């Protein structure tokens, strides 16, 4: 165990007891100390990763009832929130795509269609990765793309002229393109990346505000596409241009990889049908509910329906062969679901203890510019997520940002959406996101190379999110 983890392990509970026994931090709010102390303990353990971040998320389930902040039934309800089941269904859907290798087939066909000139190959990898990251975890999408990319780069290393500067630039563009597009792609949908779901859950649980799958996608998808285009241009036109490079054999690599998969199987077609039908229902849910009054179809119901269908619709009735069995769920990221619950419980604690009210009142009585405050919060979130889990960060900061929005007298969605999206725009450091870490481990990228491109993209993302706050979100909500 590293020094930071050892220090964090001790400092978390130690500071918890210190804060708990201080005189009332917020006058008139009896349980504020308890919630602040719990939040500090969780933040320290999340930052240092002294224990698993999912284990840290269980602390409110123990501490809030013992400290009389909330009864255990109320705390436990956060761990069974509908948004958690929305993500559970999304995870099962992703599991099915991966199990039948459909995600790999989709990715290879996208790369094949974009062409085989160097820049088009980079673009193909980026589009394929981003498309997968909309539906499966950004880690899984990166892991799928990496060996294919390594095969293409291998062609350059073993060609007649060796591994030239142009070859190196191409390798950097492909690797960084995969990582950055995995991060950007997840922004497009509610289930694409965990911070999105933490926000949706907070809005539903605490404020009875519903943001549908389609509503998020109409905002998230264009932003994701714009960010993807910018990443591509910065990589291949500015930072790592690969002039006069030819990749004639890359077409063969893609064809060989597709040949290995063989013809589309019946299971793949079945998963694709369920996946397509689920996305259709998510997009047209509001219209369906209008056409069938009283139906009450929700994004969570649709998600769980898809999961149940994958478990219960037999591919082969004679053999009793199903697409997904419960044994497959061993690979499901259950810890993320607990992490959601812990984040929602912490947000609930901040609300019932009055902390959010104190923040909103303090902001309301100040004379801070709304635009300046929004810009500062976006900048803070984006650069903090380089060092800390973005899910944990959103879980801690989203309730506070909601209080700030109330204090500023603006709809909380205006501030919460760009600040939450900022948590998915970490391009600078290998430890910032799993995709960054995975491509860094390939050996083709040095930290300073990732940081040089990442800081530029981070600042561009901040600018885009400020524009979103100022002009786009108010139009849509």
pLDDT band at 234 (very low <50, low <70, confident <90, very high): very high
Report the pLDDT value the prediction gives residue 259, as an integer from 0 to 100: 86
Vertex 167: Cα angle to 166 and 173 (nearest 5): 90
Report the pLDDT value the prediction gives residue 128, as an integer from 0 to 100: 92
319 or 127, higher pLDDT: 127
Distance CA 461, CA 231 (A): 10
Contact 61, 79 (CB under 8 A): yes
Average pLDDT, the chain: 87
Report the pLDDT value the prediction gives residue 456, as an integer from 0 to 100: 94
pLDDT at position 220 over 90:
yes
pLDDT band at 308 (very low <50, low <70, confident <90, very high): very high
Tens digit of each residue's pLDDT (9 = 90 or more) over 131-156: 999 998 888 888 888 888 888 777 66
C-alpha distances out from residue 199 to 84, 204, 206, 410, 425, Å: 12, 9, 11, 17, 16
Distance CA 262, CA 144 (A): 17
pLDDT at position 170 over 90:
no
Tens digit of each residue's pLDDT (9 = 90 or more) over 61-101: 999 999 999 999 999 999 998 888 988 988 898 889 888 88
Contact 347, 391 (CB under 8 A): no
Chain centroid to Cα 350, Å, comes to: 23
pLDDT at position 157 over 70:
no
Contact 436, 429 (CB under 8 A): yes
Residue 313 is given by DSSP the state S
Helix axes 390-408, 355-365, angle to 10 degrees: 50
Contact 178, 146 (CB under 8 A): yes
Report the pLDDT value the prediction gives residue 249, as an integer from 0 to 100: 61
CB atoms within 10 A of CB 240: 22
DSSP lists the bridge partners of residue 322 as 314
Residue whose C-alpha is closest to residue 422's, from 470, 459, 369: 459
Report the chain's terminal Cα–Cα distance, integer Å: 47
Distance CA 299, CA 350 (A): 27
Distance CA 70, CA 63 (A): 9
339 or 61, higher pLDDT: 61
The whole-number average pLDDT for the span 216-243 is 92
Of 1-10, 125-134, 210-219, 418-427, the least confident: 1-10
CA dihedral 59, 65, 71, 74 (to 10 degrees): -10
DSSP-assigned letters across all residues of 133-174: HTTS-HHHHHHHHHHHHHHHHHHHHTSTT-S-HHHHHHHHHH
pTM to 2 decimal places: 0.86
The whole-number average pLDDT for the span 315-319 is 75
The whole-number average pLDDT for the span 244-267 is 77
Q: What is the largest CA-CA distance in the chain?
A: 76
The whole-number average pLDDT for the span 332-350 is 87
Left, alpha or beta for 297 (phi > 0: left; psi -120 to 50: alpha)? beta
Report the pLDDT value the prediction gives residue 121, as an integer from 0 to 100: 85
The whole-number average pLDDT for the span 160-179 is 80
Tens digit of each residue's pLDDT (9 = 90 or more) over 7-55: 999 999 999 999 998 887 777 788 889 999 999 999 899 888 889 888 9
Contact 347, 205 (CB under 8 A): yes
The whole-number average pLDDT for the span 337-362 is 86
Tens digit of each residue's pLDDT (9 = 90 or more) over 412-465: 999 999 999 999 998 988 878 888 888 888 788 888 889 999 999 999 999 999
Q: Per the structure block, which two tokens stand in for 264?
A: 């589309």
Contact 450, 430 (CB under 8 A): yes
Tens digit of each residue's pLDDT (9 = 90 or more) over 373-410: 999 999 989 988 887 778 888 888 899 999 999 999 99
Which helix or strand (DSSP H or E) is residue 8 part of?
A: helix 3-20
Residue 17 is given by DSSP the state H
462 or 366, higher pLDDT: 462
């Amino acid at each position: 165990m590293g020094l930071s983890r050892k220090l964090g392990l001790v400092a978390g509970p130690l500071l918890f007891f210190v804060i708990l026994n201080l005189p009332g931090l917020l006058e008139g709010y009896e349980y504020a100390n308890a919630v602040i102390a719990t939040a500090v303990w969780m933040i320290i353990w999340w930052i240092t990763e002294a224990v698993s971040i999912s284990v840290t998320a269980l602390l409110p389930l123990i501490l809030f009832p013992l400290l009389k902040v909330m009864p255990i039934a109320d705390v436990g309800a956060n761990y069974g929130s509908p948004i958690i089941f929305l993500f559970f269904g999304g995870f099962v859907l992703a599991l099915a795509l991966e199990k039948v290798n459909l995600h790999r087939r989709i990715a290879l066909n996208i790369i094949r269609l974009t062409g085989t000139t160097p820049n088009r190959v980079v673009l193909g990898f980026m589009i394929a990765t981003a498309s997968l990251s909309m539906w499966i975890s950004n880690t899984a999408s990166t892991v799928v793309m990496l060996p294919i990319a390594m095969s293409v780069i291998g062609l350059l290393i073993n060609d007649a002229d060796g591994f030239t500067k142009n070859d190196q630039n191409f390798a950097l563009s492909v690797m960084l393109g995969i990582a950055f597009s995995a991060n950007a792609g997840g922004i497009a949908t509610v289930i694409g990346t965990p911070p999105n779901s933490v926000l949706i859950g907070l809005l539903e649980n605490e404020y009875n505000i519903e943001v549908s799958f389609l509503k998020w996608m109409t905002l998230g998808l264009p932003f994701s596409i714009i960010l993807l285009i910018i990443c591509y241009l910065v990589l291949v036109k500015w930072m790592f241009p690969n002039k006069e490079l030819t990749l004639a054999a890359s077409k063969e690599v893609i064809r060989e990889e597709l040949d290995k998969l063989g013809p589309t199987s019946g299971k793949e077609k079945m998963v694709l049908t369920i996946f397509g039908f689920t996305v259709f229902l998510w997009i047209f849910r509001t219209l369906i509910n209008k056409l069938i009054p009283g139906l009450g179809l929700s994004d969570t119901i649709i998600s769980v329906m898809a999961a149940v269908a994958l478990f219960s619709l037999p591919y082969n009735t004679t053999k009793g062969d199903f697409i997904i069995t419960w044994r497959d769920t061993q690979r499901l990221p259950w810890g993320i679901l607990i992490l959601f619950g812990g984040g929602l419980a912490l947000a609930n604690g901040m609300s019932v203890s009055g902390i959010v009210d104190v923040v909103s009142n303090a902001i309301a009585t100040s004379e801070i510019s709304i635009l300046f405050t929004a810009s500062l919060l976006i900048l803070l979130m984006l650069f903090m997520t380089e060092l800390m889990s973005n899910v944990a960060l959103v879980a801690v900061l989203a309730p506070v940002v909601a209080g700030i929005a109330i204090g500023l007298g603006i709809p909380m969605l205006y501030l919460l959406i760009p600040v939450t999206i900022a948590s998915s725009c970490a391009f600078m450091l290998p430890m910032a996101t799993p995709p960054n870490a995975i491509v860094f481990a390939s050996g083709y990228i040095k930290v300073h190379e990732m940081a040089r491109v990442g800081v530029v993209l981070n600042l561009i993302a901040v600018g885009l999110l400020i524009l979103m706050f100022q002009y786009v979100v108010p139009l849509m909500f």
